[in-house]
Amino acid sequence: MPDPSAPPPTTELPPHTVRRSPRASRARLTVTRDGELVVVLPRRAPERAAALLIAEHLDWVQTQLGRVAAMRRRLDARPALVAGRRLDVNGIPHVVRLAGPDDPGMGAGRARVERHLTSDADGLIGELLIHAGRAGTADPAALLEGWLRAEARRVLADRIAARAPAMAVAPGRITIRAQTSRWGSASRDGSLSFNWRLLLAPPFALDAVVVHELAHLAVRGHGPAFWAMVRRHAPRTDEARAWLRAHHAELMAALD
């Protein structure tokens, strides 16, 4: 914690929010994916400790705010979701488009997502064609998320079935969720939970998360035995963790 007797900062500090936490033992800084600078203070810490902490780590704060701003600019430059935005689905590039009056199947009336795959010299490419229903009132983002969740369940179930025997574990129920800070989790009863957005990550990253959670069925905690097992079955684990950290905000905002 910054020394409360230190003189106040003389430089202008970026806007920030101060939050109190009875569980915090020391002050800490966070820059959210929306670019908000948050200072978490212990319940009894003086208010001025927030400004002192920011001033002490001002270079780090400015670097993080710059990275978030650059990410927001990249996200803002994307096409609208249904106007040609690209999503990589299990490693295959897809273009998202809203079905028009001349597209096949428009007369069926049912709101749905159709996937069309073709190939070129570089491999498979796909299109996700969203039919908003007879009245055109269905929410395209909700339809697409539903389709992606179902596809994530299928892909993850396949990877779990492929990986579990070699790891000598017996996974139970699989749940697909939309967590904002976790990619997966494993319960003591063998149940596994995964974030559907893993489907938008490279297959090696999805596979590394699958191995990570399966390993928890054999070894609790994150000790040396656990990491040895994970890296034996997923040698690209460190690369996967770095990729997911670097692209976290992009994946969270994939359908925004």
Give the Å distances, CA to CA, from 207 to 160, 204, 245. 9, 5, 16
What's phi and psi for 127, nearest 5 deg? -130, 135
Q: Give this prediction's pTM.
A: 0.82
Residues 220 and 227: their CA atoms lie apart, in Å, by 11
**How much is the average pLDDT of 126-150?**
92
Q: Which comes out higher in pLDDT, residue 27 or 7?
A: 27
Residues 145 and 111: their CA atoms lie apart, in Å, by 13
pLDDT digit string, tens, across residues 116-133: 999 988 889 999 999 988
Q: Which comes out higher in pLDDT, residue 120 or 42?
A: 42
**How much is the average pLDDT of 220-232?**
97
Looking at the structure, give the CATH architecture of the domain made up of residues 83-252: 2-Layer Sandwich (3.30)
Q: Is the pLDDT of residue 252 over 80?
A: yes
Residue 145 pLDDT level (bands cut at 50, 70, 90): very high
Q: Is the pLDDT of residue 199 over 90?
A: yes
Q: Domain-by-domain residue ranges, the chain?
A: 17-76, 83-252
> What single-letter DSSP state applies at residue 111?
-
Neighbours of 46 (CB within 10 A): 12
Sheet hosting strand 37-42, strand order edge to edge: 17-21, 37-42, 28-31
Neighbours of 98 (CB within 10 A): 16
Q: Which of 240, 82, 101 is nearest to 147 (CA)?
A: 82
What's phi and psi for 158, nearest 5 deg? -65, -45
User: Percent of the chain scored above 70 by pLDDT?
Assistant: 93
Give the Å distances, CA to CA, from 251 to 33, 59, 254. 11, 27, 5
